Amino acid sequence: MLKKTSHFLREANFIGGSWVEADSGAAIEVTNPATRQTIGTVPKCGRAETRRAIEAAQEAFQSWKKTSANDRAKLLRKLHDAIMDNQDALAELLVMEQGKPLFEAKGEVGMSAAYILWFAEEGRRVYGDVVPSPWADRRILVTKEPVGVIGAITPWNFPSSMLARKLGPALAAGCTAVAKPASQTPYSGLAWGVLAEEVGFPKGVINIVTGSASEIGDELTENPLVRKITFTGSTEIGKLLMQKAAGTVKKVSMELGGNAPFLVFDDADLDRAVEGAIIAKYRNSGQTCVCTNRFFVQDGIYDRFVEKLVEATKKLKVGSGLEDGVQQGPLIDDGAVEKVEELLADATEKGGKIATGGKRHDLGGTFFEPTVLTEASPRMRLMEEEIFGPVAPVFRFKEEAEGVAMANDTSFGLACYFYTSDLGRAFRVMEGLRYGLVGVNEGLITTVEAPFGGFKESGLGKEGGHQGIEDYLDTKYVCIGGLGL
Ligand code: NAP
C-alpha cells in the first residue's frame, strides 16, 4: 500500500498557487473501496473558497492569455513528461481511491498524459480566417480567443483522465481553470495541482477545490467570471448544471451517461466479438460511461455467443486492484452494489436467467461476481437505466432492422458497438445507430486523436480530436474599414 507520505497524496486544496484547508476546517474522509479503510481526508470547501479560486484564476488569466501558444505548449509538454515519469505512483494512488486494476489505472494515467501532449500541439493550430471582403476598402478577420476562466467538474470513475480532457484544451487555449474532482476520488484530481506546481505553471492557472458539490457547483455556475462549465458525470446533474449556467449564459460541455448497445450479427467473427464484449463490458467493473449496458445478439448465433461469453466471464480474476493478475476490482460503494442487485432482481422477475455470477462476491465488501444474464427483454429496467456494474444482459433479435431499433430505443446516445463481417451491413448499421461513438468489430475505441462525445441526453460538445479545443475558444469577427484602398 502507498505510504501516506507519498507526495501525490495531498490533503489540501490548491488555490492561487497555495495549498489550503477549508475555511471551516471541515474535511471529507476518503475510503479505499477494496479494503474499506480510510486513506485520508480532503478539505470540505464551499462557496467562499471556490470564489477565491475563481478570482485567482481570473487574475492569472490576464497574463496567461497573453503567453504564446508555443510557450504554453512547452509547459504542457513538461506536464506530460512529469505524468509519465510518475505513472506508477499516480496509478497506485488511483487504484487506492477508485479500485480499478493496476494495469487499467496505468492505462488511464498514460491516457491523461496523451491528452496533455495532444492539446499542447493543438493549441498551436488555433487558426483564424481572413475572409474575402464584400467591400473594396474593408477587410475581414476572424480570430479565436480563450473564453476565460473555466469550471471543470469530474466523476469518480476516471478521476485522472476526465480532468486531462478538460485541463489539456483549456490550458492550451489560454484559459485558466477551477476544477472540482469527485469526493470519492479527490486525490488523483489534487495530484494535478502537485504536478502543475512542479513543472512551473504560474499561480492561479490551475486551481483544485474539493468539498460540497452543490456549493462548489453553485458558485462555479453563478459566478459571472466563469465563462464555461465543462462537466463529466450523470445526465441528472448535467441537466441541473445546464440550467444553472443559463443564468449567466456560459458555454457548457456535457459528457453524460450512456446506455451502450453491443450488437452481434449472425455473420460476426464470434471469437472477436466475445473478446470485444469482455473489454466493453467488464473494464473498470462495468463502471464506465462507454461500457456495454445491453448486448443484442441475432437469433442464429445467440446460444453460441452466450456459451463463449459465459466461459470467458468465468475466467475473470476478481480482487484488489493492486494484486497481480486481477482483472476486476470492487464497485465504488454499497450504493453501486445495491443498484446492481435491484436491476438483477427486476430482470429475473421479468424472465431473465442468470447464466453465471449474479451475486456479491465471496471476497465481501463491494466485490460483485462478473455476471451474464440471458433472455433479457425490453420490459426490464436495465433496458434504459445505466447498470454501472459487471452485469451483461443478453437480448435476442431476429432481423437487422429490429436489432438497430432496439439499440436506438433509449434517451442516451454515447457509445455503441457492433460485430459483422458484411461490409454493406457495416455501413447500414453504422449509419442507422444514433450514437456519438461507434465501434465496428472493436470493443475499446477511445483515443486522444478522435472526438469523444454523445448524442441525445448523453451530452453536448466533444473532448479529444481537433474538435476538443473549440469549446474553450470564442470566435471574434473583426471588420477593418477606412483603408483607402
Ligand atoms: P455524478 O453524481 O453526476 O457526479 C459527477 C460530479 O458532479 C462529481 O464531482 C460530483 O461531486 C458532482 N456533483 C454532484 N452533484 C452536484 C451538484 N449539485 N452541483 C455540482 N456538482 C455536482 O456522477 P458520478 O456518479 O460521479 O459518475 C458516474 C456518471 O458519469 C455516469 O452516469 C457515467 O455514465 C458518467 N460519465 C460520463 C462520461 C462521458 O464522457 N460521457 C465519462 C465518465 C462518466 P461529488 O462527488 O462531491 O458528489
Residue 205's Cβ-side half-sphere holds a number of Cα atoms within 13 Å equal to 26
* Cα 217 from Cα 220, distance rounded (Å): 5
Is the pLDDT at 415 greater than 90? The verdict is: yes
Maximum separation of any 2 CA atoms in the chain, in Å: 83
* Cα 64 from Cα 174, distance rounded (Å): 6
Per-chain mean pLDDT for the chain: 97
Is residue 15 within 6 Å of ligand 1 at its C-beta? no
* Cα 339 from Cα 320, distance rounded (Å): 21
Q: Ligand 1: which residue has its CA nearest to atom 18?
A: 214
Q: From 223, 241, 372, select the one nearest 295 (Cα to Cα).
A: 372
Confidence of residue 485 (pLDDT cuts 50, 70, 90): confident
Amino acid 6: pLDDT: 79
Give the pTM: 0.97
In whole angstroms, how far apart are CA 449 and each of 122, 135, 165, 258, 472? Answer: 10, 40, 12, 21, 17
Amino acid 1: pLDDT: 46
Q: From 387, 367, 371, select the one nearest 32 (Cα to Cα).
A: 367
In whole angstroms, how far apart are CA 330 and each of 140, 191, 367? Answer: 58, 23, 4
Confidence of residue 7 (pLDDT cuts 50, 70, 90): confident
* Cα 66 from Cα 211, distance rounded (Å): 32
Residues in the chain: 485
* Cα 37 from Cα 253, distance rounded (Å): 35
Quick one: average pLDDT of 375-390?
Answer: 97
Look up residue 321 and give its three cell numbers. Answer: 486492484
Atom in ligand 1 nearest the alpha carbon of residue 220:
20
Is the pLDDT at 3 greater than 80? The verdict is: no
Amino acid 26: pLDDT: 98
| Residue 175: active-site member | no
Question: Tens of pLDDT along 173-229?
Answer: 999 999 999 999 999 999 999 999 999 999 999 999 999 999 999 999 999 999 999
* Cα 260 from Cα 413, distance rounded (Å): 8
Is residue 234 within 6 Å of ligand 1 at its C-beta? yes
Any idea what the Cα angle at residue 389 is, between residues 97 and 192, rounded to 5°?
Answer: 30
Which of the following is catalytic: 175, 289, 291, 416? 289
Quick one: average pLDDT of 108-136?
Answer: 98
Is the pLDDT at 402 greater than 50? The verdict is: yes
* Distance between Cα 143 and ligand 1 center (Å): 34
- The phi and psi torsions of 109 (rounded to 5 degrees) equal -65, -40
Q: Which amino acid is at 97?
A: E
Is residue 154 within 6 Å of ligand 1 at its C-beta? yes
| Residue 289: active-site member | yes
Is the pLDDT at 358 greater than 60? The verdict is: yes
- What's the alpha-carbon Rg for the chain, to the nearest Å? 23
Look up residue 361 and give its three cell numbers. Answer: 462476491
Q: Would you give the DSSP letter of residue 86?
A: T
Q: Which residues pair with 390 in a beta bridge?
A: none
Q: Which amino acid is at 155?
A: P
Question: Tens of pLDDT along 26-53?
Answer: 999 999 999 999 999 999 999 999 999 9
* Cα 338 from Cα 419, distance rounded (Å): 32
Atom in ligand 1 nearest the alpha carbon of residue 212:
47
Confidence of residue 75 (pLDDT cuts 50, 70, 90): very high
Quick one: average pLDDT of 376-398?
Answer: 97
Q: Ligand 1: which residue has its CA nearest to atom 12?
A: 213
What percent of the chain lies above the pLDDT cut of 70? Answer: 99
